[in-house]
Amino acid sequence: MGSFSRPHICQCLRRASLVRRDSTFVIFGDRRKTGREFFDEVLSLSYNLLELGIRAGDVVAVAAYNSVYYLELLLAVTFVGGILAPLNYRWSGSEARYAISAVRPVVLVTDESCDRWYSVLEDSPMPSLRWHLSLGSSNPKSLNRLNVSFLDLLERRAVMSTTTSYAWPPNGAAIICFTSGTTGWPKGVSISHSAFIIQSMAKIAICGYGEDDVYLHTAPLCHIGGLSSALAMLMVGARHVFIPKFDPGLAVDAIEKHSVTSLITVPTFITDMSSFLREKESWKGAESIRKVLNGGGSLSLKSTTEAIRLFPSARILSAYGMTEACSSLTFMTLHHSSRSNQPISVREQQGTCIGKPAPHVEMRTDAADSVSSGRILTRGPHMMIGYWDQPLESDTGGASWFDTGDVGSIDESGNVWLIGRANGRIKSGGENVYPEEVETAVLQHPGVVGVVVVGVPDATLGETVIGCVRMSSDWTWSESDKLLQVRIGMAKEHVLTSSVLRQFCRGRDLTGFKIPKAFLNWGSRPFPTTSTGKMRRDAVRAEVISRQQSLFSKM
């Protein structure tokens, strides 16, 4: 196969440079760049990386806030055949050390977001590391012998021929993206150029992205959702607006100032933006936003209603995916302004509907028949090459079925219904309980805006099912039904107790052993999540265990 017949993510550069040749292509703070300036900087940076000694197959690790430099680095590294390994700046020093040791980068690029790592990294031998590039205002005192200013490197203007061939690493990988699992060490997922491009094209087709879009980078570029959406926007020549990380104030300001049309969210973003905008007299984003893609967990009916209130003119979609599948596997439209103003309820007794697979994605379950639930499997050109240094045993391009680790079913219309994570199940009295299935039922109560179900140790049952709830502001929590009965002047239907919620679960036909033995009022604080919005069940479980004695004494 000839070189130019092979897909390469930098093939999007030419279109970007032409569509936005002399107009604003990227906005970062008070800085603006045209498409031509962006194109020239990527080529110049590519040349300077070659001058540093970067060669095809070398890994460049980056840990930084979102910026135009991050995007330029992604393209420049892959242009010369390198592999970019984005690291999560929210990791602890030990997690960062583990990931760096796993991918053995020749270059480490950091900014002030991870200054706290340096004392840990300096004490760890990193024989592969030849250069440390300081991005932005970061000027770490450690690793000085390796230091080079990224911005100085970027400003070393170099002219590369526009006919220069792209380079590919030996295994065809473009990035090593780490899983954002909620327990255990992060795993590096090796993703090819072709999978990256195919996934991005699916987003373009399904979400309707185009060159007139103004895209706000709300998702971190260290995660696959942010990366694949960024590439999709590069491919269509859309305008890019950067904020360092998601903050409701920064996001709202950027949306209003630059007439942003598209963004991606996770459920916590919707909650945070809604709270922030309650204090604003007007909201211009309601007019400009046209496309919202939600990931990192499905939206509850209440959250969907809130998203429609925030973005009434938008098409709101939800996506389900994973890093190993290069982001989104299924898509579902929750709201379309031209069709209906009523939010779609996607939660039923059989689980949560997560939509239909993207055109390039095959999905099935391992159940004995097409009706029963089983482990959800997928295959196709979107799949990873393998875990870094641990290639899939028999796969050469997505031909083998991959176990997603989720349990669910697929109906006759092709809709995928998710019940829960196989490895997150609770074993209570010998029965399997999937937390997500219980949460689906509890979330249908009008007084509940958030719920996390966990299993805690029990001498008799092995594990006991416990529910932690966040309530709507117009509802009150009572620790016992006795206290509820003596409250004078309080509308009983606006008071929640464990018994009330247990009875509600029975009314939703939830099997008895799945109904939480007790519920805990979580208060107004958010549940702990990863940077992509995935629930930290381990952290919730730890707090429940610490409060377990007082919890059961009030039952």
Q: Tens digits of per-residue pLDDT, 4-49?
A: 568 999 999 988 888 888 999 999 999 999 999 999 999 999 999 9
Residue 519 lies in a domain: yes
Whether the per-residue pLDDT at 392 is higher than 60: the answer is: no
First to last CA, the chain: 69
Whether the per-residue pLDDT at 383 is higher than 70: the answer is: yes
SS3 for 349-375 is CCEEECCEECCCCEEEECCCCCCCCEE
Q: Tens digits of per-residue pLDDT, 68-91?
A: 999 999 999 999 999 999 999 988
Which has the closest alpha carbon to 24: 38, 12, 8?
38
- Residue 143 lies in domain: 10-170
**Confidence at residue 169, expressed as pLDDT on a 0 to 100 scale:** 93
Q: Tens digits of per-residue pLDDT, 501-546?
A: 999 999 887 888 899 999 999 998 889 887 556 788 888 988 998 8
DSSP 506-553: HHTT--GGGS-SEEEE--SSPPPB-TTS-B-HHHHHHHHHHTHHHHHH
Residue 254 lies in a domain: no
Q: Tens digits of per-residue pLDDT, 253-305?
A: 999 999 999 999 988 889 889 989 988 878 988 999 999 999 877 777 778 88
Cβ atoms of 227 and 221 within 8 Å: the answer is: yes
> Angle, nearest 10°, between helix axes 248-258 and 267-277?
80
Across all residues in the chain, what is the average pLDDT?
86
Cβ atoms of 477 and 463 within 8 Å: the answer is: no
Rounded CA separation 467/484 (Å)? 20
Residue 194 lies in a domain: no
Whether the per-residue pLDDT at 394 is higher than 50: the answer is: no
463, β-bridge pairs: 457
Q: Which of 214-218, 272-276, 284-288, 334-338 has the lowest mean pLDDT?
A: 334-338
**Confidence at residue 396, expressed as pLDDT on a 0 to 100 scale:** 46
Whether the per-residue pLDDT at 56 is higher than 90: the answer is: yes
Q: Which of 224-233, 402-411, 447-456, 483-492 has the lowest mean pLDDT?
A: 483-492
Residue 120: partners with Cβ closer than 8 Å, 6 or more residues away: 93, 94, 96, 97
Q: Does residue 435 or residue 92 have the better pLDDT?
A: 435
**Confidence at residue 1, expressed as pLDDT on a 0 to 100 scale:** 42
Whether the per-residue pLDDT at 322 is higher than 50: the answer is: yes
Grade residue 487 by pLDDT with cuts at 50, 70 and 90.
Answer: very low
Whether the per-residue pLDDT at 398 is higher than 70: the answer is: no
Residue 159 lies in a domain: yes
Domain boundary (141, 170, 199) is at 170
Instruction: Look up residue 48 and give its amino acid.
Output: N
**Confidence at residue 151, expressed as pLDDT on a 0 to 100 scale:** 81
Rounded CA separation 403/325 (Å)? 11
**Confidence at residue 280, expressed as pLDDT on a 0 to 100 scale:** 82
Domain boundary (140, 170, 200) is at 170
Q: Does residue 369 or residue 184 have the better pLDDT?
A: 369
**Confidence at residue 533, expressed as pLDDT on a 0 to 100 scale:** 63
Residue 401 lies in a domain: no
CATH number, position 49: 3.40.50.12780
CATH number, position 475: 3.30.300.30
Residue 225 lies in a domain: no
Q: Which two tokens stand for residue 503?
A: 């009875």
Q: Does residue 452 or residue 344 have the better pLDDT?
A: 452
**Confidence at residue 45, expressed as pLDDT on a 0 to 100 scale:** 92
Cβ atoms of 273 and 307 within 8 Å: the answer is: no
Q: Tens digits of per-residue pLDDT, 155-180?
A: 776 665 544 688 999 889 999 999 86
Q: Which of 141-150, 181-190, 204-213 has the lowest mean pLDDT?
A: 141-150
Q: How many domains does the chain have?
A: 2
Average pLDDT (198-218) is 96
Rounded CA separation 122/144 (Å)? 10
Residue 282: partners with Cβ closer than 8 Å, 6 or more residues away: none
Domain boundary (114, 149, 170) is at 170
Residue 490 lies in a domain: yes
Residue 126 lies in a domain: yes
Residue 418: partners with Cβ closer than 8 Å, 6 or more residues away: 298, 320, 351, 352, 353, 354, 376, 406, 407, 408, 436
Rounded CA separation 145/101 (Å)? 19
Q: Tens digits of per-residue pLDDT, 400-435?
A: 899 998 999 999 899 999 888 888 889 888 788 889
Whether the per-residue pLDDT at 323 is higher than 90: the answer is: yes
